[in-house]
Amino acid sequence: MAEASKVIHVRNVGPEISENDLLELFQPFGGITKLVLLRAKNQALLQMQDVPSAINAVQFYTNAQPTIRGRNVYVQFSSHQELTMMDQNAQGRGFQALIQYDGQQNAISARTSLKGRNIYDGCCQLDIQFSNLDELQVHYNNDRSRDFTNPNLPTEQKGRSSQQPGYGDAGAGFLQMANAAAITEAFGGGLPPGISGTNDRCTVLVANLNPDRIDKDKLFNLFSLYGNIVRIKLLRNKPDHALVQMGDGFQAELAVHFLKRARLFGKRLDVNFSKHPHITQGADAHEYVKSNLNRFQRNAAKNFRYCCSPTKMIHLSSLPQDVTEEEIVNHFEEHDADNKRELTVIVLTATLWSIPVSTRTPYSVAPV
């Protein structure tokens, strides 16, 4: 066993384990002053308030196997006597960046040398992946972007503060969240597995739709579970295809990740990023940018917590106090005519119900 230390090393920390889970495991032994999750290695480092607290915790869990969310975790002293880290308020926000080298080999060398290394002693471990972008388009030299080959770029667009970036042609009402830093706390301090947070393509191509039953509003109801909708366009020459423009690249990535291969009206959806950066305004494009049904205009972090793949369970809220189970069942049976499945209504509270149905599409359900 390593020399006793205030710092405890925890292994087998799976993606389902949050910071709060670790805090609950070790708080009975004393105060915890620092906590670092090393997601890339499924490990964590905790610093107790003093060495005796750490000794008590390690000794206890040496004799009693600790389990978090059904997963065995393993506890030992760290080789670090102290964790040096950034301000706690900045911890776990998932800051990310895109860097373009002048050649592919330089990018490979940088990734090989730096992947898994820490920026600071014991924390801020680098997770480096190759981007699917061929080239970066940098328009401003400021604290958010910089083109080192062109020092003459402006610091910001005229008439727009660099602290409040806009969304292109989407207009007011949308926050640009392409770096996803502001909402990673909604996912427990880190993005869900498979989500990079670096995508900047806002438009999604949806294929294999059921053209007899789909329309723009039904697509809006489905895709608005993962972000704000700017425009939707059904393709005339391909009636089973549609374009959906999300509020930003991060929201589009969530939609692609969670809806790919989802079943809708008897067909498996094929959802991918479109080659088109945005949907051009026109008669075929339906505008949603000013719709008050876009639920991510406010309480965005709260709504991101609900992002998941479609299931057979729907959660309804803000129902009238006098609504009956029969009324709810009758309403949803209208949308389950093909399957004729029995619907079950469970009363959770006076205003919250859960209903298993064949798809999760909330046809006439207002956003929470």
Residue 217 class from Cβ within 10 Å (0-12 exposed, 13-18 middle, 19+ buried)? Answer: middle
Q: How confident is the model at residue 87 (pLDDT cuts 50, 70, 90)?
A: very low
CATH topology of domain 7-83: Alpha-Beta Plaits (3.30.70)
Query: Taking 50 as the threshold, does the pLDDT of residue 324 lie above it?
Result: yes
Does position 354 have pLDDT exceeding 60, yes or no? no
Question: Which class for 241: exposed (0-12), middle (13-18), buried (19 or more C-beta within 10 A)?
Answer: middle
Tell which wins on pLDDT, 323 or 223: 223
Q: Which helix (H) or strand (E) holds 333?
A: helix 325-333
DSSP type of residue 347: E
DSSP state of 287: E
Tell me the C-alpha distance between 7 and 14, whole Å.
Answer: 20
Q: Please, which pLDDT band fits residue 93 given cuts at 50, 70 and 90?
A: very low
| Structure confidence at residue 336 (pLDDT) | 60
Tell which wins on pLDDT, 85 or 253: 253
* Fold: same for 7-83 and 203-304: yes
The full 3-state SS of 75-118, as one line of letters, equals EEECCCCCCCCCCHHHCCCCCCCCCCCCCHHHHHHHHHHHCCCE
Alpha-carbon distance of 34 to 214, in angstroms, equals 51
pLDDT band at 1 (very low <50, low <70, confident <90, very high): low
- Domain ranges, ordered by start, for the chain: 7-83, 203-304, 313-356
> What CATH number does domain 203-304 carry, 2.30.30.180, 3.30.360.10, 3.30.70.330, 3.30.40.230?
3.30.70.330
Question: Would you say residue 351 has pLDDT above 50?
Answer: no
For the stretch 226-248, pLDDT in tens is: 989 999 999 989 999 999 999 88
Nearest Cα neighbor of 257 from 315, 201, 319, 193 is 193
Has residue 76 got a pLDDT over 80? yes
The pLDDT of residue 189 is above 90: no
- Pairing state between β 313-316 and 242-246: unpaired
Which pTM does this prediction carry? 0.47
- The sign one gets for the Cα dihedral 176, 190, 222, 244 is positive
Helix or strand holding residue 44 (H, E): strand 43-48
| Phi-psi domain of 332 (left: phi exceeds 0; alpha: psi -120 through 50; beta: other) | alpha
d(CA 70, CA 67): 6
User: What torsion, rounded to 10 degrees, do the Cα atoms 45, 48, 52, 53 define?
Assistant: -100
Helix (H, G, I), strand (E, B) or coil at 189: coil
Evaluate if residue 191 carries a pLDDT over 80. no
